[in-house]
Structure 1
Amino acid sequence: MVTVAVAGGGTGIGLDIVRAILATKKHDLTVISRSNQTSLASEGVNIKVVDYSSVEQLADALRGIHTVISCIPAYGDNTTAAELALLEGAKRAGVLRFVPSEWNSACNDIVDLYAGKEIVWNAVQGSGLEYTRFINGLWMNVWGPGCIRDEEEAIGAYKGRPAFAIDLRAGTAIIPGDSSQKVVVTRTQDVGRFVAATLDLPIWEAESHIVGDRLSFAEVVGLANEVCGKQLRVTEIHVEELEELLGGNLEVGERFYYQLLLSAALGRMDFDHLTNPLFPDPRPMSTSEYLKKHWTLD
């Protein structure tokens, strides 16, 4: 049993991690939040409302905590400053382990909105705390919007956003780069379960890689046809075309979208060093299982 605090645990990937930790019935759990999370409080979670601009408040909230897991959204200078303050508060409070807010892949140098992640990662490495960052590839949940069964579960931490690259509701698919390039995809719920499992490890590696499935976008298109009976209209977009698009004047959301596609095309979402074998359970859901569960009525 460890005392663990999840910063940003009231929504998104943080909430999936909180749910997974609660399910273990092992750990003393605190959620650090800007607002009171009444629903989690009713489940026995200790809620600490903080001002992320105050290192003193954060240190007070984290006293007695063994492990801090950051799920602060990583977009913009304000969130970078908030996470750096969280790290400093953890150091002052005597926290032993720290997880920065990553939850994607090795593409911080490509995606503008992820630039702050690298600043935080460098600070974490020099903090003197034990640490790991979780690398899980693309969230499988990006293919949940508009599904025909259990949409809330299908979307998970990806709530409120459009489908990415492959839109089964619209019947379209964009394949970036070489159609044979593999990507790692992992459900956010499975990310949560693996994070919860790693709390029991006596020693952390600097990076923890989680793989739900590993396949190409073209293979996902094939599964959509085979499992769901959907014939998707496919558009291929090569690396050179993506780089040309990104050289233009794009609004922030478009730029983010194409930078993620470029990251996938360049193999930045592909890896094979796994944390998974450390844990025979939980077994993550495959893409085929995910499509069958949420895009068919069988």
Structure 2
Amino acid sequence: MVKIALAGGSGEVAHEIIDGLLAAGKHELTILSRKVLPKSWPFPQSVLTNRHQDATPGGLIEGTTWVKVDYQDKQSLVQALKGIHTVLSFIVVQQDPGNVAQINLIEASVEAGVKRLAPNEWASPNTPGPWQPGKIAIREHLKELNKDKKVLEYSLFFPGQFLNYLGTPNKTAKYLSQLNTWLDFANTRAILVEGVEERISYTTVQDLAAVVARAVEYEGEWPVIGGVHGNTITSLEAIALGEKIRGRPFAVERVKAEDIKAGELKSSWVPLLEHPAIPKEQAEFFSRIFVTSALQGSLENAWEVSDEWNRLLPDFEFTSVEKFLTEVWAGKP
């Protein structure tokens, strides 16, 4: 049994990982949040006691506790982390100016005697975008923390892209929002960069959650670089699978590398992001930023990740791209 705290634990990816940890049936989870326990918390209401629905700290499911915290108050974080073995962070970098919240969490973890921590990564090491400078700063902070002697074991979990997104608009995960990408399987079309044959690592969010559940039990030392190598294929290989399963060709549109480098997406269509955090009137604006950043990553092969956790957990079987696409798209119009 491992005592685990999840910081920013009310987010979508955090929810999926909570499910994976609960499925193991071995751990005690403390969910840290700036908010009181909401009535809309997405676990069945039958498992919530009336006594704790609005309380903080409050009980949710056996072995799970919700604690309201102030990330600006390091000493209150120290108290919340007393007795915790592993901290998993999902603090949104772009909502944490100066990384104050996550740095306080890291320093409080050290003071409270936490053994392990995973900072908010959960994508690829070189993913371009406005969030990247903050993530790099946290990596440097952790590296500096351990430069003289190891005071906190940590791992940067890199699962690449979530394979679930290739199933959009079909719901393929319990909590994760389905996002449209430049590989549009619903409309059998794609946007690619001229002259680029990028390789992308795909992992379902369910597989990531299962890997994390095994990682918290892992008795050896965590690898600093924690690649979770679900599947790695090129976009053209993914398109070929899509054409085979969907039974019709994809319309592939190529954009110029120099335009993408300049931050310009000159395509005839834009995959619109539909997410609760994005106002509908701003969807196209943010969609262009997201897709342009993602395609900039393609220029740098930023979406391919390593396989450290695969090698440490050799018996784990990942969901293949072909199996996933077949289950989602076979027989669909």
Q: TM-score, normalised by structure 2?
A: 0.79
Match of 1:78 in 2: 97
| AA of the residue aligned to 1:194 | V
What is the Cα-based RMSD across aligned positions, in Å?
A: 2.4
Question: For the residues of structure 1 that align with 2:175 and 2:256, how far apart are their CA atoms?
Answer: 29
Q: TM-score, normalised by structure 1?
A: 0.88
| AA of the residue aligned to 1:136 | P
Structure 1 residue 286 corresponds to structure 2 residue 320: yes
Structure 1 residue 8 corresponds to structure 2 residue 8: yes
Provide closer, same or farther for how the CA distance between residues 178 and 279 of structure 1 changes in structure 2, counting only shifts above 3 A.
farther
**CA drift at 1:196:** 1.1
Question: For the residues of structure 1 that align with 2:299 and 2:248, how far apart are their CA atoms?
Answer: 24
Match of 2:65 in 1: 46
Secondary structure of 1:245's aligned partner:
coil
Match of 1:169 in 2: 186
Match of 2:237 in 1: 219
CA contact (8 A) 1:177 1:262 kept: no
Secondary structure of 1:234's aligned partner:
strand
Deviates more, 1:67-76 or 1:37-46: 37-46
Deviates more, 1:82-91 or 1:58-67: 82-91
Question: For the residues of structure 1 that align with 2:98 and 2:205, how far apart are their CA atoms?
Answer: 21
1:193 to 184, 195, 210: 210
**CA drift at 1:272:** 4.2
How many residue pairs match? The answer is 290
CA contact (8 A) 1:246 1:258 kept: yes
CA contact (8 A) 1:142 1:155 kept: no
Percent identity over the alignment is: 25
Match of 2:165 in 1: 142
Deviates more, 1:19-28 or 1:75-84: 75-84
Match of 2:142 in 1: 124
Match of 1:99 in 2: 118
1:64 to 68, 83, 96: 83
Secondary structure of 2:61's aligned partner:
coil
**CA drift at 1:291:** 0.9
Question: For the residues of structure 1 that align with 2:227 and 2:11, how far apart are their CA atoms?
Answer: 22
CA contact (8 A) 1:183 1:215 kept: yes
| AA of the residue aligned to 1:142 | Y
Question: Residue by residue, what CA displacement relative to the aligned partner does 1:174-232 show, whole Å, maximum 9, x if unpaired?
Answer: 12354532111111111111111111222111111101111011111111111222432
Provide closer, same or farther for how the CA distance between residues 205 and 177 of structure 1 changes in structure 2, counting only shifts above 3 A.
farther
**CA drift at 1:29:** 1.5
**CA drift at 1:295:** 1.7
Question: Residue by residue, what CA displacement relative to the aligned partner does 1:232-252 show, whole Å, maximum 9, x if unpaired?
Answer: 21112343231133599x955
Provide closer, same or farther for how the CA distance between residues 104 and 240 of structure 1 changes in structure 2, counting only shifts above 3 A.
same
The structure having more radius of gyration, on CA atoms, is 2
Structure 1 residue 268 corresponds to structure 2 residue 302: yes
CA contact (8 A) 1:9 1:33 kept: yes
2:329 to 280, 295, 298: 295
**CA drift at 1:287:** 1.1
Alignment of 1:24-35 (within 5 A): 24-35=24-35
CA contact (8 A) 2:82 2:113 kept: yes
Question: For the residues of structure 1 that align with 2:249 and 2:256, how far apart are their CA atoms?
Answer: 22
Secondary structure of 1:65's aligned partner:
coil
| AA of the residue aligned to 1:196 | A
**CA drift at 1:80:** 2.5
